[in-house]
Protein backbone atom coordinates (compact mmCIF):
# COMPACT_ATOMS: atom_id res chain seq x y z
CA UNK A 1 0.00 0.00 0.00
CA UNK A 2 1.10 3.50 -0.71
CA UNK A 3 1.79 5.97 2.06
CA UNK A 4 2.13 9.72 1.96
CA UNK A 5 4.04 11.63 4.60
CA UNK A 6 3.96 15.34 5.30
CA UNK A 7 6.53 15.98 7.99
CA UNK A 8 5.56 19.58 8.69
CA UNK A 9 2.29 19.81 10.65
CA UNK A 10 2.51 23.60 10.60
CA UNK A 11 4.35 26.21 8.57
CA UNK A 12 4.24 29.97 8.49
CA UNK A 13 5.36 32.52 5.92
CA UNK A 14 5.45 36.26 5.67
CA UNK A 15 3.18 37.77 3.07
CA UNK A 16 4.94 38.15 -0.31
CA UNK A 17 7.64 35.66 0.62
CA UNK A 18 8.20 32.09 -0.53
CA UNK A 19 7.46 28.90 1.38
CA UNK A 20 8.05 25.24 0.58
CA UNK A 21 5.88 22.43 1.90
CA UNK A 22 7.40 18.98 1.88
CA UNK A 23 5.87 15.65 0.97
CA UNK A 24 7.35 12.21 0.60
CA UNK A 25 5.65 9.03 -0.45
CA UNK A 26 6.31 5.36 -0.59
CA UNK A 27 5.30 3.20 -3.52
CA UNK A 28 6.53 0.29 -5.60
CA UNK A 29 4.66 1.51 -8.65
CA UNK A 30 6.36 3.27 -11.52
CA UNK A 31 3.38 5.10 -12.91
CA UNK A 32 1.25 7.31 -10.71
CA UNK A 33 0.03 10.84 -10.13
CA UNK A 34 0.70 13.29 -7.35
CA UNK A 35 -1.43 16.19 -6.25
CA UNK A 36 -1.52 19.06 -3.84
CA UNK A 37 -4.90 20.08 -2.47
CA UNK A 38 -5.72 23.16 -0.46
CA UNK A 39 -8.36 23.20 2.26
CA UNK A 40 -9.12 26.72 3.57
CA UNK A 41 -11.19 27.34 6.70
CA UNK A 42 -14.31 26.90 4.60
CA UNK A 43 -13.26 23.19 4.43
CA UNK A 44 -13.70 23.11 0.67
CA UNK A 45 -11.01 20.92 -0.91
CA UNK A 46 -9.41 22.59 -3.90
CA UNK A 47 -6.94 21.08 -6.33
CA UNK A 48 -3.82 23.25 -6.48
CA UNK A 49 -1.46 21.38 -8.78
CA UNK A 50 -0.82 17.92 -10.20
CA UNK A 51 2.17 15.99 -11.49
CA UNK A 52 2.39 12.90 -13.68
CA UNK A 53 5.18 10.61 -12.50
CA UNK A 54 6.34 9.89 -16.05
CA UNK A 55 7.02 13.57 -16.67
CA UNK A 56 10.36 14.88 -15.56
CA UNK A 57 9.34 18.50 -15.90
CA UNK A 58 8.04 20.01 -12.70
CA UNK A 59 4.47 21.26 -12.83
CA UNK A 60 3.76 24.96 -12.40
CA UNK A 61 0.50 26.81 -11.84
CA UNK A 62 1.01 30.55 -11.49
CA UNK A 63 2.60 31.10 -8.04
CA UNK A 64 2.56 27.38 -7.24
CA UNK A 65 5.25 25.00 -8.41
CA UNK A 66 6.48 21.59 -7.40
CA UNK A 67 9.86 19.98 -7.03
CA UNK A 68 9.31 16.39 -8.06
CA UNK A 69 12.18 14.04 -7.30
CA UNK A 70 11.03 10.60 -8.43
CA UNK A 71 14.06 8.68 -7.25
CA UNK A 72 13.83 10.24 -3.82
CA UNK A 73 10.02 9.92 -3.83
CA UNK A 74 9.70 13.54 -2.91
CA UNK A 75 7.08 16.02 -4.05
CA UNK A 76 7.38 19.45 -2.47
CA UNK A 77 5.16 22.45 -3.11
CA UNK A 78 6.61 25.92 -3.44
CA UNK A 79 4.36 28.93 -3.02
CA UNK A 80 5.88 32.15 -4.27
CA UNK A 81 4.74 35.66 -3.38
CA UNK A 82 2.54 34.27 -0.62
CA UNK A 83 -0.83 35.91 -0.15
CA UNK A 84 -3.16 36.01 2.83
CA UNK A 85 -5.60 33.87 0.87
CA UNK A 86 -3.04 31.09 0.71
CA UNK A 87 -3.58 30.38 4.39
CA UNK A 88 -5.05 26.89 4.54
CA UNK A 89 -4.38 23.25 5.23
CA UNK A 90 -2.43 21.70 2.36
CA UNK A 91 -2.68 18.01 1.57
CA UNK A 92 -0.34 16.02 -0.62
CA UNK A 93 -2.03 13.09 -2.35
CA UNK A 94 -0.94 10.03 -4.33
CA UNK A 95 -3.00 8.24 -6.93
CA UNK A 96 -2.12 5.07 -8.83
CA UNK A 97 -2.31 5.06 -12.59
CA UNK A 98 -3.45 1.49 -13.04
CA UNK A 99 -6.72 0.62 -14.75
CA UNK A 100 -8.38 -0.26 -11.47
CA UNK A 101 -6.99 2.71 -9.66
CA UNK A 102 -8.88 5.77 -8.65
CA UNK A 103 -8.73 6.45 -4.96
CA UNK A 104 -6.17 8.86 -3.63
CA UNK A 105 -4.12 8.49 -0.50
CA UNK A 106 -3.66 11.71 1.42
CA UNK A 107 -0.93 12.89 3.74
CA UNK A 108 -1.74 14.23 7.18
CA UNK A 109 -1.69 17.80 5.96
CA UNK A 110 0.33 20.93 6.65
CA UNK A 111 -1.34 24.00 8.10
CA UNK A 112 0.05 27.12 6.46
CA UNK A 113 -0.24 30.47 8.20
CA UNK A 114 0.44 33.64 6.23
CA UNK A 115 1.53 36.63 8.30
CA UNK A 116 0.73 40.13 7.06
Partner 1 sequence: AAGVIQSPRHLIKEKRETATLKCYPIPRHDTVYWYQQGPGQDPQFLISFYEKMQSDKGSIPDRFSAQQFSDYHSELNMSSLELGDSALYFCASSFRQGQGYGYTFGSGTRLTVV
Residues within the interface to partner 1 (CB under 8 A): 33, 35, 37, 42-47, 50, 52, 91, 93, 95-97, 100-109
Supply the minimum distance, in Å, between the C-beta of residue 107 and partner 1.
6
Number of neighbouring beta carbons within 10 Å of residue 43: 8
CA–CA gap between residue 100 and residue 82 (Å, rounded): 38
Is the CB of 19 or the CB of 109 nearer to partner 1? 109
Q: How far is the CB of 96 from partner 1 (least distance, A)?
A: 8
Minimum CB separation of residue 15 from partner 1 in Å reads 25
Judged by CB, which is closer to partner 1: 70, or 95? 95
Q: How far is the CB of 93 from partner 1 (least distance, A)?
A: 8
**CA–CA gap between residue 111 and residue 97 (Å, rounded):** 28
CB 26 within 8 A of CB 33: no
Residue 59: how many other CB atoms lie within 10 Å: 20
Nearer of residues 64 and 106 to partner 1, judged by Cβ: 106
Q: Is the Cβ of residue 73 or residue 95 nearer to partner 1 in the bound state? A: 95
Burial degree of 62 (CB within 10 A; 0-12, 13-18, 19+): exposed
Amino acid sequence: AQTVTQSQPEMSVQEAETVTLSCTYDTSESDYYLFWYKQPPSRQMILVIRQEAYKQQNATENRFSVNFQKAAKSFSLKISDSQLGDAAMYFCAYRSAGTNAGKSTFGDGTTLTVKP
